[in-house]
Amino acid sequence: MSDGDNLLKLVEAEEADDQDYLLQEQVGFILRKAHQRHVSIFAAHIGDLTPPQFAALAKLRDVGETSQNQLGTLIAMDAATVKGVIDRLKARGLVELSKHEVDKRRLLVNLTAEGRDAIERLIPLAREITRETLAPLSAKEIATFMKLLAKLA
């Protein structure tokens, strides 16, 4: 392609912007890819737990026993999704469920001893996952990126 063609494209782009919708430059597309990359890094370090499962355990470690719904709010999962995640953690003995004494609608979730051991053991690996995910950026870039990303989330 000649320089003339490049120039023509630039001129056209200023007028008819339907011509240059580039999927690979859209924030949603790149966000999806960045997320995919992170999940892949996560899986390489923590093979037997998914990021949502890890999030549930990490948050239970923070807040202690909570209702399934409340936990979902804390880790940004809707009720249907969190149920599946908790069911699988329960099947593996990492969390235990109990009924709320007063409010009979609520299902309380808590870490088991095994679940607590697991999350404590995994946190160092999670730190490394964060580090590796951000590895393409310098320290200053990381600070900038995290600030802007937080605004979008």
**Residue numbers of the site for DNA (CB under 7 A)?**
32, 36, 39-40, 43, 50-53, 67-70, 76-81, 83-85, 88, 100, 102-108
Count the site residues for a second copy by CB under 8 A: 49
- The nearest distance, CB 72 to a second copy, in angstroms, is 13
3 vs 75: CA distance, rounded Å: 51
| Residue 7 vs 79, nearer CB to DNA | 79
Q: What six digits make up the tokens of 100?
A: 């709320």
Angstrom distances, CA of residue 44 to CA of 23, 41, 129, 132: 28, 5, 9, 11
Task: Reduce the secondary structure of 36-50 to three states and give it as a string.
Answer: HHHHHHHHHHCCCCC
Position 39 contacts a second copy (CB under 8 A): yes
| Residue 39 vs 126, nearer CB to DNA | 39
Query: By CB under 8 A, what part of segment 77-116 binds a second copy?
Result: none
Nearest 5°: the CA angle 88, 97, 43 is: 30
Position 149 contacts a second copy (CB under 8 A): yes
Q: How far apart are the first and last CA of the chain?
A: 41
Interface ranges with a second copy (CB under 8 A) = 17-18, 21-23, 25-39, 42, 51, 55, 58-59, 62, 75-76, 120, 123-124, 126-127, 129-130, 133-134, 136-137, 141, 144-146, 148-153
